[in-house]
Amino acid sequence: MRRAIAEAVRVLRAGGLVAFPTETVYGLGADARRPAAVARIFAAKGRPADHPLIVHVADQAEARRWARAWPEPAHRLAEAFWPGPLTLIVDKAQDVPDEVTGGQPTVGLRVPDHPLALELLRAFGGGVAAPSANRFGSVSPTTAAHVALELGDSVDLILDGGPCRVGVESSIVDLSRATRRAVAKGADADADGTDRSSERAPRLLRPGGLPRERIEAVLGAPLSTGPGRTRAPGTLPSHYAPRARVLAVSAEALDEQVERVASAGEGPVVVLGPRAVPGAAHLPLPADPEGAARALYSALREVDARRFAVAVVPLPEERGLGAAVADRLRRASAPRPGPDGT
């Protein structure tokens, strides 16, 4: 075993925090069986304690230990996409600590597709609860240096696995009981006649590194969208935001919007996208959605590092990874809560 992995396992067993690379973004991990260790994650992130964490495991067999039951769609999706950028929400096993699930009856599970993460999870042999390794509400880290800059001393160990290959967080699919039971019943209307069919299908809680189209192809049915009954704080409107104002615009309106913002006198304007626009600085983002996803969070950090006041970003087409990129850009451009939390 690599020395760094042995050290990381030692830190986890002692109740410490280990930041580790995954294919999506870096995670901030703790032993998911130890409430005190999990509490340290919330303190380090400045995250409200009722927000649930994803439990990272080495394989499907370990995932099942955290679930009350393992529904057929979970098996099918895990077989098709794990290790990979997909988180499954299922009913939790009784012994899963409330600190991990934010008190909800469900748990999020994922097998990450990164050699270091898998080595760590296999050597550790249990579940590692890990949110993205950033301060609450800010941009997820895609390099070890991002983690060090943002969380520094509050992490006991950072495993450096280089830049993340996917670059945006996992796709989250809710397969929990409320959803499943209704699917099994197959009824589209409640006793009161209300059509609840859209609440019943497996639900995409967060578009991410695994395109929706691929998930639907394996399920053989469309995913429903939106927050539904399960709360997912990563779906707060103003998540994933840099300090600068982000303005997500349609690709057609880019030039016009840049001209408008540049003349408004808010400060230096930068365009984040495949092409430069007169009147603004330019930070290139690849035109292909995979490339854009990989580069997006680094680019948003660069916007702040270079002290731009406004970043104008053309929205990609919402197919494949373009849906996740567009989702993060919309959230980054949503109105921010004030310092008093309003």
Note the residues at the interface with ligand TXA (CB under 6 A). Answer: 22, 24-25, 27, 51-54, 87, 89, 101, 104, 106-108, 110, 112, 130-132, 169-170, 172, 205-206, 230, 232-235
**By CB under 5 A, residue 104 contacts Mg ion:** no
Return the bridge partners of 20, or none.
27
Which residue is associated with the tokens 């950090």?
301
Nearest residue to ligand TXA, using CB?
234
Q: Which is nearer to ligand TXA, 53 or 118 (CB)?
A: 53
Q: Residue 43, CB half-sphere, CA atoms under 13 Å: how many?
A: 12
Q: Which is nearer to ligand TXA, 27 or 73 (CB)?
A: 27
Q: How far is the CB of 150 from ligand TXA (least distance, A)?
A: 13
Question: What backbone phi and psi angles, to 5 degrees, belong to 318?
Answer: -85, 55
Q: How far is the CB of 10 from ligand TXA (least distance, A)?
A: 21
**By CB under 5 A, residue 24 contacts Mg ion:** no
Q: Do 26 and 114 touch, CB atoms closer than 8 A?
A: no
Residue 40 binding: pick among ligand TXA, Mg ion, none (C-beta 5-8 Å cut-off by kind)? none
Residue 53 binding: pick among Mg ion, ligand TXA, none (C-beta 5-8 Å cut-off by kind)? ligand TXA
Residue 257 binding: pick among ligand TXA, Mg ion, none (C-beta 5-8 Å cut-off by kind)? none
Residue 52 binding: pick among ligand TXA, Mg ion, none (C-beta 5-8 Å cut-off by kind)? ligand TXA
Which residue is associated with the tokens 């690379």?
21
Q: Which is nearer to Mg ion, 136 or 286 (CB)?
A: 136
**Which residue in the set 132, 142, 143, 170 belongs to the binding site for Mg ion (CB under 5 A)?**
132
Single-letter code of the amino acid located at 294: R
Q: How far is the CB of 231 from Mg ion (least distance, A)?
A: 14
Q: How far is the CB of 281 from ligand TXA (least distance, A)?
A: 30
Q: Do 106 and 9 touch, CB atoms closer than 8 A?
A: no
Q: Do 37 and 17 touch, CB atoms closer than 8 A?
A: yes
Nearest residue to Mg ion, using CB?
132
Residues across the chain: 342
Distance of CA 309 to the CA centre of its chain: 26
Q: Which is nearer to ligand TXA, 60 or 101 (CB)?
A: 101
Q: Which is nearer to ligand TXA, 25 or 312 (CB)?
A: 25
Residue 54 binding: pick among ligand TXA, Mg ion, none (C-beta 5-8 Å cut-off by kind)? ligand TXA
Number of residues that bind Mg ion (CB under 5 A): 1
**By CB under 5 A, residue 87 contacts Mg ion:** no
Cβ within 8 Å of residue 281, ≥6 positions away: 268, 269, 270, 271, 306, 308
**What does the alpha-carbon distance between residue 43 and residue 138 come to, in Å, rounded to a whole number?**
15
Q: How far is the CB of 216 from ligand TXA (least distance, A)?
A: 19
Q: Using omega within 30 degrees of 0 as the cis cutoff, is the peptide bond preceding 211 cis?
A: no
**What does the alpha-carbon distance between residue 224 and residue 238 come to, in Å, rounded to a whole number?**
22
**What does the alpha-carbon distance between residue 131 and residue 108 come to, in Å, rounded to a whole number?**
11
Q: Which is nearer to Mg ion, 20 or 308 (CB)?
A: 20
Q: Which is nearer to ligand TXA, 277 or 300 (CB)?
A: 300
**What does the alpha-carbon distance between residue 94 and residue 101 come to, in Å, rounded to a whole number?**
11
Map residue 310 onto helix, strand or coil: strand
Q: Which is nearer to ligand TXA, 48 or 222 (CB)?
A: 48
Q: Do 266 and 309 touch, CB atoms closer than 8 A?
A: yes
**By CB under 5 A, residue 142 contacts Mg ion:** no
Would you state the torsion angle of the CA atoms of residues 54, 128, 164, 91, taken in this order, to the nearest 10 degrees? -20
Q: How far is the CB of 19 from Mg ion (least distance, A)?
A: 13
Q: How far is the CB of 312 from ligand TXA (least distance, A)?
A: 26
Alpha-carbon distance values, 329 to 92, 251, 297, 319 (Å): 32, 13, 10, 15
Q: In the complex, which residues of this chain contact Mg ion (CB under 5 A)?
A: 132
